[in-house]
């Protein structure tokens, strides 16, 4: 059985860094893992490991933009359309991997996950090839700095989940930049974590999104006059109701400086993919020797 994990999320969420750490962790555990690059705009130094399969060998965003006069967004859409038209190339590339973990690093344009049918079509093609798939969606901890920005991230994750229709895990990345234990001993903000100091209870309200953060929060942002507009608050109430009616999104915290944190995320991915459940148990080599000889 082959397994594919689609690593999705907005630009800057740490997808490529997570892919590298994920692959390193699996290889340390003596599990076969390979990175698949689906970003036609990736630069040469984007990966610590050379991707086993690279869409840039088929098409690059730079070539599409220069030869067809497209912008970056239109060029990216064209690249994925071209990939779907040449699925035989991808099938041939995947043919050499068996019982392996494929970590698929996706582009940072979230409209590919929330609006376009390219990734759902790609997933269906992989499933047809007998590859068991799931997806993770990374949202960086900086989104907790602004509750409006955070809930836009929650809605984008929800939209991507509905669009791709595969087993799904949401991850709050870069948690090493957030302190779970705020301290009042230091008044210098430059000495604290970049994305702010938050109590554990406060962090928990973001990992399992609490709609009341949007409805009733008082953190100083409401001083802006446009946010006192009644229509703005009506929209907020509608979003709160949507999240309460469809509580699909919760986040696993990811701190890549902690092996335990990465291990928790990997174990959730394994469970989601049902990793290893189809494998046959291995018989010990010495079953017919020594104390086990009379069992035959």
pLDDT tens readout for residues 23-51: 999 999 999 999 999 999 988 776 777 89
- Residue 237 banded pLDDT, cuts 50, 70, 90: confident
Indicate if the pLDDT at residue 136 is higher than 60: yes
CATH number of 2-179+199-209+249-273: 3.40.50.300
Query: In terms of pTM, does the model score above 0.85?
Result: no
Length of the chain as a residue count: 296
- Residue 144 banded pLDDT, cuts 50, 70, 90: confident
Q: What angle do CA 48, 49, 52 make, to 5 degrees?
A: 150
CA 50 – CA 180 distance, rounded (Å): 35
Mean of the pLDDT values across residues 212-227?
56
* φ, ψ dihedrals at 191, nearest 5°: -90, -10
What are the domain boundaries of the chain?
2-179+199-209+249-273, 211-248
CA 147 – CA 145 distance, rounded (Å): 7
Residue among 142, 137, 154, 116 at smallest CA distance from 247: 154
């Amino acid at each position: 059985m082959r397994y594919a994990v689609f690593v999705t999320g907005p630009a800057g969420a740490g997808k490529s860094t997570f892919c590298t750490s994920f692959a390193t962790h699996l290889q340390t555990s003596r599990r076969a893992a390979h990175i698949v690059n689906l970003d036609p705009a990736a630069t040469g130094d984007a990966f610590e490991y050379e991707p086993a399969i690279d869409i840039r060998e088929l098409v690059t965003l730079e070539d599409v933009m220069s030869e067809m006069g497209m912008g970056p967004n239109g060029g990216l859409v064209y690249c994925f359309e071209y990939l779907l038209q040449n699925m035989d190339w991808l099938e041939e590339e995947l043919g050499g991997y068996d019982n392996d973990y494929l970590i698929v690093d996706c582009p940072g344009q979230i409209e590919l996950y929330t609006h376009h049918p390219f990734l759902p079509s790609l997933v269906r093609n992989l499933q047809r090839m007998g590859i068991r798939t799931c997806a993770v969606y990374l949202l960086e901890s900086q989104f907790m700095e602004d509750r409006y920005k955070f809930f836009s991230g929650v809605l984008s994750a929800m939209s991507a989940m509905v669009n791709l229709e595969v087993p799904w895990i949401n991850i709050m990345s870069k948690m090493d930049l957030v302190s779970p234990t705020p301290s009042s001993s230091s008044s210098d903000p430059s000495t604290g974590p970049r994305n702010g100091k938050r109590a554990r209870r406060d962090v928990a309200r973001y990992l399992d999104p609490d709609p009341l953060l949007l409805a009733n929060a008082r953190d100083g942002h409401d001083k802006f006059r446009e946010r006192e507009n009644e229509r703005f608050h009506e929209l907020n109430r509608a979003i709160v109701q949507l999240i309460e009616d469809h509580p699909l999104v919760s986040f696993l915290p990811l701190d890549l400086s902690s092996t335990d944190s990465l291990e928790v995320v990997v174990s959730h991915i394994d469970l989601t993919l049902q990793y290893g459940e189809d494998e046959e148990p291995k018989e010990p080599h010495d079953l017919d020797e020594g104390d086990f000889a009379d069992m035959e």
